[in-house]
Amino acid sequence: MDSVLYDNLVSPVTMAFLLGIFATLIRSDLEIPEPVIRIFSIFLLFSIGLQGGHELSGVDIRTISTGLLITALMILMLPLAAFLVARYLVRLSVVDATGVAALYGSVSTVTFVVARSYGEAAGTPMEGYITGLVALLELAIFVALFYGRMALRWSDSSSKKPLTAILMETLRGRGLLLLSGGLVIGALSSDTNFSKIEPFYVGLFRGVLVLFLLEMGMTAGRHLKTFSSVGIKILVFGIAMPLVNGFMVTGIASAAGLPFGSVFVLGVVAASASYIDAPAAVRTTFPEANSSIYLTSSLGITFPFMLLAGIPLVYQTTAFWHSLL
């Protein structure tokens, strides 16, 4: 586990984010033009949708109804819980709470892969379709953005925008269009057709991601003073929120009768926070959100905590629920 933590903490993705912060602190003239950042965001969101949809293509929906119901509940509840805690306990602004909710409603792919390996090594492997359910959890990003738009409407007494208008505004957003459209295209693509675009959308994904995180690091560096005012609260949030989410989801999934390995992985996924997928959507929809808050919480606190202690703790929580139920 220590080697996994080290490998990911010194990965190009993580170090690019830190380099971006450093570049801002030394007042470097390094700059990535805004149109290029938009292209990066479009590429990343569409690529995520394509890959997730292709993973879903081999799943028999009829045999996973229980897992689908739990996933739907997670999509609705995880970003809501994160938003409410960030807004009313951590006392973040609406847009900053929305950014946090999007990342904590989404999934850390690295944490998912480590949890899957951990379960297999412990003799409790997950069922194969869980990978497809994890792909669907990306939709929680846009549920979080919808919650944020609703909260802005309520906080602005002069706004008379109806609920249906806010919903349509969210549905028409390019982020949701790219991700959901990618999911459909990926799910309908055969292995032969998908292999033709795989070198571009899968092979180049990490390279584009490194450049995107470099820019996010520069953005975060420009807001470090703001982060310092909520640093301790974010530290507590970044550790406590995953534990609460993992405890709730493992309890629900255990009560629903899912196998131990699948419950464990879903619990870890619920406890994780995205630093790859969600930031692109947040930056597109709420560019004024403070990236130093939501990215530092996810990448700097929750991610290493989950790899060091969170995954074993969720495993023990799963064992507790299974012994109880």
DSSP, res 276: S
Among the listed residues 182, 150, 144, the one whose alpha carbon sits nearest the alpha carbon of residue 167 = 150
In sequence order, what are the residues at sequence separation of 6 or more whose Cβ sits closer than 8 angstroms to the Cβ of residue 182?
45, 46, 47, 48, 49, 50, 51, 52, 53
The pTM of the whole model exceeds 0.85: no
**pLDDT reported for residue 64:** 79
Of 90, 32, 71, give the one whose Cα is nearest residue 234: 90
241 CB neighbour count, 10 Å cutoff: 24
Q: What is the pLDDT of residue 199?
A: 92
Q: In Å, what is the CA distance from 171 to each residue of 146, 155, 266, 268? A: 9, 21, 26, 28
Q: What is the pLDDT along the chain (325 residues), one digit of tens a residue?
A: 455 556 656 678 778 878 988 998 898 999 888 888 888 878 887 887 788 788 777 776 777 788 899 999 999 999 999 999 999 999 999 999 999 999 999 888 778 877 887 888 888 998 877 877 887 888 888 899 889 888 887 876 555 666 677 677 666 767 677 878 888 898 888 889 999 999 998 888 888 888 887 887 887 777 666 667 677 888 899 999 999 999 999 999 999 999 999 999 999 999 999 877 788 778 877 888 888 888 888 877 888 788 778 888 999 999 999 998 7
Give pLDDT, residue 163. Answer: 65
With beta carbons less than 8 A apart as the criterion, state whether 299 and 14 touch. yes
In the chain, the domains with their CATH numbers are 2-18+33-324 (1.20.1530.20)
